[in-house]
């Protein structure tokens, strides 16, 4: 069975109504990203950081997967599909995708500040005083600026095996995630779907200057028909 890796970013979630912080001057809902997405911000303003992600978590419950998420699920009828996402929402899972790797963490999980491997499912607000089993404060299970991306090696290995690579809703400018394309096999077919594509032309590359909800179904139909 042929293998497909799908690299997704904020653009695919934005069409479901989730706001993204890279749209305007590095501000995320009015906050400097380093204030709410760094270990330094956590140590300085813990209550602010908790509230910020609590709001994101509540918003996530109000949105639904869109046509792009739904189309990607159909690929599993004919291919081995792994989705590698920079997004922290669960829209791929809710649509029905069975293999999703979250490079930057997950909103619906919390983790121990004492043991980074102690991760809990968490669908409600995280509050001051919410403790892990080791009695340390819980924090959002989000990879902040300056922290290691623990699943990067796994993602690189999957990308290196892929026969087809779909890039959806990401500028491929955010590292280390953007480096994944460097692991592609020389003969891997690459599909780049973005309203404002800024990828350089290369062999085996097809560019679709469309939003995810129209471009992804188009590519999925082509792959299934082939």
Known catalytic residues? 104
**Sign of the alpha-carbon torsion through 162, 151, 213, 203:** negative
Q: Alpha carbon of 67 to those of 13, 132, 223: distances in Å? A: 11, 37, 16
Cα-Cα-Cα-Cα torsion 84, 107, 150, 102, nearest 10 degrees, comes to -10
- The continuous run of DSSP H or E covering 48 comes out as helix 46-60
Within 10 A of 48 (CB to CB), how many other CB atoms are there?
Answer: 13
Identify the CA nearest to 55 among candidates 140, 147, 118, 170: 140
């Amino acid at each position: 069975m042929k293998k497909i890796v799908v690299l997704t970013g904020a653009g695919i979630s934005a069409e479901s109504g989730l706001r993204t912080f890279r749209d305007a001057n590095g501000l995320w809902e009015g906050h400097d990203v380093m204030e709410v997405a760094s270990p330094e911000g956590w140590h300085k303003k813990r209550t602010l950081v908790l509230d910020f992600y609590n709001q994101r978590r509540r918003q996530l419950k109000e949105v639904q997967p869109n046509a792009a998420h739904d189309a990607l699920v159909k690929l599993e009828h004919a291919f081995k599909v792994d989705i590698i996402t920079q997004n922290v929402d669960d829209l791929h899972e809710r649509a029905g995708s069975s293999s999703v790797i979250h490079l930057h963490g997950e909103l619906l999980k919390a983790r121990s500040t004492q043991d980074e491997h102690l991760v809990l499912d968490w669908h409600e607000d995280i509050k001051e005083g919410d403790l892990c089993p080791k009695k340390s404060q819980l924090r959002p299970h989000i990879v902040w600026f300056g922290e290691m991306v623990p699943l990067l090696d796994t993602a690189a290995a999957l990308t290196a095996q892929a026969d087809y690579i779909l890039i959806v809703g990401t500028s491929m400018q955010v590292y280390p995630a953007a480096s994944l394309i460097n692991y592609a096999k020389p003969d891997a077919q690459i599909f780049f779907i973005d309203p404002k594509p800024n990828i350089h032309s290369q062999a085996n590359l097809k560019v679709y200057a469309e939003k995810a909800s129209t471009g992804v179904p188009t590519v999925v139909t082509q792959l299934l028909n082939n």
